[in-house]
Amino acid sequence: MDSFAEPRPAPDTPSDLAAVRAQVASLEDSHRAQGIPLSGRIIHLCHYLPFQAALARPPSTSKPPSPPATPPAKPADIDAPLADDDEEHELKKWRLTVRYGHSAMVSGITSLAATHDQIVIGWTGDIDAAPLASGLSATSAPTSSPPEREQVERVPFANVSAEERTALEKILTEHRMRDEPEDGKPITYVPVWLEDTVAHGHYDGYCKQTLWPLFHYLLWQDVATEYASADTHWPAYAKANRTFADRVAEVYRPGDLIWIHDYHLLLTPQLLRSALPEAAIGLFVHTPFPSSEVFRCLPRRKEILDGMLGANLICFQTYSYSRHFTSSCVRVCGYEITSAGGIDVQGHVAAIAYCPVGVDAERVAKDTFRPGIQAKLEALRALYEGKKIIVGRDKLDVVKGVVQKLRAFEKLLQDYPQWIGNVVLIQVTSPALSDSPKLERQVSEIVAHINGEYGSLDFIPVHHYHQTINKDEFYALLSVADLGVITPLRDGMNTTSMEFVIAQEPTKRSPLVLSEFMGISSNMGDALQCNPWNIGEVAAAMHRGLTMSDEEKASRHRNLYKVVTTHTSATWAAMLAKMLLAQLGRLNMARQTPPLPRETLTEHYTKAKKRLFLFDYDGTLAPIVKVPSMAVPSEPTLAALEALTADPRNVVYIISGRDGEFLEQHLGHIRGLGMSAEHGGFIREPGSTVWRNFTENLDMDWMGEVLEIFKYYTERTTGSHIEVKKSSITWHYRSSDPEWGLFQCRQCQDLLENNLARKRPIEVLVGKKNLEVRPMAVNKGEIVKRILYFNPDAEFVFCAGDDKTDEDMFRALLLFNGGGESEKAFLEPPLSVTLLAKESTTKFEPVELAISRDAVFTTAVGHSSKRTLAAWHVTTPEEIVEHMHQLFNPQPNGHDEEAKSNL
């Protein structure tokens, strides 16, 4: 999905909700028919539960007003287990009220109850305190308004007893939200309990002071009132994510789908991947995602990206956000982009997609006809009779562009003076999560300036209300508007724009001015889109909207209304289920490779009379490095190879893509070590100093043609270079711009495969930051067959590799096709034997191998979900070396168990 090679894909959005649900059902039926487990449940991780909890306590006359209560002085003072009456008393202490915010996400989750059982896991939020006499009960009470809630006293986390937590958890198992379908499947709410310091360090700290500004193209010091460190609250963020992951592990069942929502929980996918390797995990990022040049400023950038990449599917609001994320993975971490646009992390592939959120269109439409709205609507019409009404409603936050909007309105009055006295701007700014006195003062000064400059005794151009308005006032304001202006500097999903369209359906069908930097803008092409930084452009858009003909208004509104009422929050939620189900059964989730069993490996090694060890070099015995010449073997690796080759029962080979000169320089001093260079092009037998060439009888004239093609791309790709070997030729772009290098690699690969490879006996291989061309008859698998053919009495084989070329080795070791344990394996004379013999193949007969099925240990280095033919896996080259040391120097059981637990 790099910006050079990939066209913008169209989002997979069926025309209606019924179509999406039908596709979900079809996928589930198909998976069950294939034996893929599905539980029918979806687990959602949200920062908050969708309600606010209030806890009441009986009044205490003995408790001092200020100091904490005295600890129990005797056993009788300690709480006893709850009796039935005590439990009923604990239940009555709790009251749940609907929580403001995230209405689109909550309504989307609720809609899935029509088809799936669900579990919603979230933080309880701060617990409100209230006296028992207020009549609290464990039922949903009417929602209190935010201004009222700000005055409520909080109950510290430490003061909520274990019995009270248990009581709330019991209430939540039976709790139903107001909007849940009556005939729907159950939604179970599971609270996450966080200590106050962790909860607020996580949310008020790292989320709001570091990640949120960064994702909206601001750095943390740009929004801080004092010196700010981006890492101050990192421990709290990491701990909160760990707590969420642990909570999921407690309720998870095989076959569950897991969806993690938003930037509060970006580490959780990787934590869950480690705890639940088989789980299907999706991550939806509701906020924008910045370009890689902005994201790379984050000190914990790699930890955040690796955390996100633990998911099987990462979904964003727009294509551009997904492209920014992909670019960050490539540029910051150096990860590869797959041909399907996913990110490959040591074999685990995270798919990347985008799907914008919608609103609950039916609920919004019903809300616009609430009984209290019409009276307020008529009052607004009478108050501003004879004037055009422009409406804006935003949080008073720097990225919402309120300052720029006010300046654009002033520009409208300057450039189009006919509007003075004929248009008013009603701007409502709800309080942001964090106060900004500087911004409030700036807005107030601009409003006062405009009203002073263009107002009169009977005309006030700007009416600014810095308050939270109730639902009736909000919809009355949207319905009465002649123009909606929503111009944030950067925004993910803005529900007000969609609510405006629905509210206008029964009234004026007025146009809408939108910022082009909103996540929803790409879907709402019939809005008047503009750059909010260009105040002249915004002013012109306002003028055009105010003077638009009725026909154009109707046409634009009709198209916008269709978008808003078709792609709703319910459609979005169903699409998430569909996209994650589509990942099930794909190669990157088809099979999790188990970890290499140390005890079983040692057992077979010990009893075997002859053993074969076949190792790749780069990425297997030595880590991948940017400069190939720096990949030198470590002291433990050399010691392990020397110890293995010293045993006469062992036959040890290094089978590498490196040339013979490099292998001899670093490993040639080890007596008894066999080596194969250039992916099987050359071989040096153990104890010999002579390299034998497999390509001397092959047509190698193609190398000149390939070299010319590689030179063409090298000239056009700064940082790339060509490596010419005796049997192959490789183009490297590891030091190039990663996205441009990948684009050029794919262009070159296409040219080679569609032109030269059809006429010549060659194959084109895409490696890690390189493109290699080699003869078809030469590969690592042929070398493995040769070694097996000349060592048929081997009773133990250990073969390790990390990349695509090593799959040829694993394929060559698939010796047993049936399921019987007593089955014998036979090997035909391989090409690698007949080529060097220069004789007819009739001279060589098939051989019977002594190896048994369970004594072949093919091992891939990388993630357990890596697509591989290997039977086992380890995570790092260091683990390969540890296993080698374990074979010839076994540790005591206690140490062995400890070592195993660290793998």
Q: Which residues are catalytic?
A: 616
Could you give the CA distance from residue 145 to residue 599 in angstroms, rounded to a whole number? Answer: 62
Contact 483, 542 (CB under 8 A): yes
Contact 294, 214 (CB under 8 A): yes
Q: Which amino acid is at 853?
A: R
Identify the helix (H) or strand (E) that includes residue 654: strand 650-655
Length of the chain: 903
Residue 144 tokens, joined: 């209190």
| Displacement of CA 52 from its chain's centroid (Å) | 28
Residue 233 tokens, joined: 């609250």
Both ends of the chain: CA-CA distance in Å?
33
Sequence-ordered alpha helix ranges (H) in 467-518: 471-480, 495-504
Could you give the CA distance from residue 474 to residue 377 in angstroms, rounded to a whole number? Answer: 10
Identify the DSSP state of 2. Answer: -
3-state SS assignment for residue 45: strand
Could you give the CA distance from residue 717 to residue 107 in angstroms, rounded to a whole number? Answer: 49
Contact 8, 319 (CB under 8 A): yes
Could you give the CA distance from residue 869 to residue 812 in angstroms, rounded to a whole number? Answer: 10
Residue 790 tokens, joined: 């000349």
- Cα–Cα–Cα angle for 775, 778, 781, rounded to 5 degrees: 145
CB atoms under 10 Å from CB of 872, counted, come to 19
The per-residue b/e assignment along 109-122, b for 16 or more CB within 10 angstroms, e otherwise, is bbbbbebbbbbbbb
Tell me which residue of 189, 192, 191, 188 sits closest to 202, measured CA to CA. 192
Sequence-ordered alpha helix ranges (H) in 12-153: 17-33, 84-91, 103-111, 146-149
